[in-house]
């Protein structure tokens, strides 16, 4: 996240705000979270969806997908990218993995 300290509360709140989340609910859930809860959520994600990393997105159908983007598309393209990913995951369940090799920087 651009070299920001992701253990800093204000950094996390700033990211949540920029993602246009419901901040009242986010802060409540964030403050209520404990390591025990995080552990239970992690175990549920592994057992239910096969989660192995973040970010893993769980769709309405119950299908889940890990997605990594680099570099991020321009902001105005993000809704279209999200819709393409959603459609691929939801409408093509036989596609289990797509991975593009990235050559080392020269």
SS3 57: strand
CA-to-CA distance for 29 and 26, rounded, in angstroms? Answer: 5
Sequence-ordered alpha helix ranges (H) in the chain: 9-18, 23-32, 35-49, 78-91
Reported pTM: 0.59
Tell me, what's the pLDDT at 106? Answer: 58
Tell me the per-residue pLDDT of 79-100, one tens digit each, with 9 for 90 and over. 999 999 999 999 998 988 888 8
Compute the residue count for the chain.
106
Report the Cα 92 to chain-centroid distance in Å: 20
Which residues of the chain are modeled with pLDDT < 50? none
CA-to-CA distance for 88 and 66, rounded, in angstroms? Answer: 13
Find, among 88, 99, 79, 68, the residue nearest to 20 by Cα.
79
């Amino acid at each position: 996240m651009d070299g920001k300290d992701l253990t800093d509360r204000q950094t996390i709140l700033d990211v949540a705000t920029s993602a246009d989340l419901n901040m009242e609910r986010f802060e409540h859930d964030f403050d209520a979270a404990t390591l025990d809860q995080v552990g239970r959520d992690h175990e549920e994600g592994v057992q239910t969806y096969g989660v192995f990393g973040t970010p893993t997105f769980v769709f309405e159908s119950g299908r889940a997908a890990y997605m990594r983007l680099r570099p991020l598309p321009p902001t105005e393209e993000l809704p279209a990218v999200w819709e393409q990913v959603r459609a691929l995951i939801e409408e093509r369940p036989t596609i289990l993995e797509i991975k593009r090799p990235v050559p080392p920087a020269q």
